Structure 1
Amino acid sequence: MSTVQQRKTVLIVDDTPDNITLLAGLLKDQYNTKVATSGATALQIVASSQVDLILLDIMMPGMDGYETCRRLKADPASSGIPVIFLTAKSQPEDEAKGRSVGAVEFLRKPVSPPVLFGYVAANLR
């Protein structure tokens, strides 16, 4: 098996291109990355390809991150994929809501690269 096949795939879901560029750049040396700019696109990618972990923005037009996570967790095919919320939201109730819909972690933007790497690695074990 080649190294590329052994690499885990992280789906980055964010409606801000700069955030996607930053996250994909941080993760590209250790992981395969896929990107989606909306919750609906994220659901399509997860339904059609292998994804091992999802980094999910909360505030997006259309379907927000909470609803995207709810739908992922409601589908047996994707319910086991760890979801880490990345958000500018900082209130305790935002984190509580994120965990209630199935997120395993809640990271605030701007994200610290060492913290991001730690959370991603821990949830892919």
Structure 2
Amino acid sequence: MKYTEILKGRKGFIKFKTLFTLLVLALLVYAGIEVIPLYIGNYMLEQEVSSAAEMAMHKSDADINKRLVERANSWGITLKEGDIKIERGEYDVSIYTAYDIEVNFLGQYKKKFAFDIDVVKPIQKVE
């Protein structure tokens, strides 16, 4: 017995199944639209922090802090200058920051996404 024969006379079932599948697909697309930009922004900030750590010997901590805060804010990541910790060692530079972004799904459900960036780069000596 074929599947279509079993469902004979149940035309509404196939329509409901299709509608349910489309609804689930739409929710996944919506969630992706809300969440994927957060991870893209985090990746971009991580690359910027890495670049700043490589060039740290040429800039002061205040300059690095200011630049990173400006870049983060331009990507929709709310950071203040005190949120970025810069430590200079004898042989390396460490830059650390952590932040949370709360996303409101469908105006009802709130989910907090926590991100932290910790980059350690060796100090490049000028010869």
Instruction: Give the structure with the larger strand fraction.
Output: 2
**TM-score scaled by structure 2?**
0.26
Considering only CA atoms, is the larger Rg found in Structure 1 or Structure 2?
A: 2
Instruction: Give the structure with the larger helix fraction.
Output: 2
**TM-score scaled by structure 1?**
0.26
